[in-house]
Amino acid sequence: MSEYLFTYGTLRLNQDHPMASLLADNATLIGLAVISNAKLFRIEWFPAMINSESKKNCVVGDLYLLKNNSVLEKLDEYEGIGVGEPPFEYRRVKTTVKTDTEEIDSWAYFYNIPIPQYAELIESGDFLNP
């Protein structure tokens, strides 16, 4: 069964990153989607999504339907899951995302370690349109 993946940063559509290209080649773009109860931070050149208690906080991203679930292994490695000693930088979690027409259970990468003090909150929740 095919899985969905929500992306909010370097893996989003048309990003100039080899892993974004890998994803685009191995998935079908469904469109824009939102995860509620989440905040987005900029840590240097990349984003980090964490859970939030407030429903006012949401993260905007792209929802993909994976053509081949094995691409998740490569993306996990890119996100630092299983690399080095725990705790790993990110964790992949099944969560509910909202599109214009429906709610879908999708994988998403959440930041798994404390947010650095220098990190900048992205008020809009959209890494590409802060």
User: pTM of the entire structure?
Assistant: 0.95
Ranges of each domain in the chain? 4-121
Superfamily of domain 4-121, CATH level 4: Gamma-glutamyl cyclotransferase-like (3.10.490.10)
Instruction: List the beta bridge partners of residue 96.
Output: 105
Report pLDDT digits (tens) over 15-54. Answer: 999 999 999 999 999 999 999 999 999 999 999 999 999 9
Residue type, 31: G
Distance of alpha carbon 4 from alpha carbon 62, whole angstroms: 10
pLDDT bin (cut points 50, 70, 90) of residue 86 is: confident
SS3 assignment, position 73 = helix
C-alpha angle 73/76/82, rounded to 5°?
Answer: 100
Distance of alpha carbon 120 from alpha carbon 63, whole angstroms: 24
Which residue do the tokens 């081949």 mark? 68
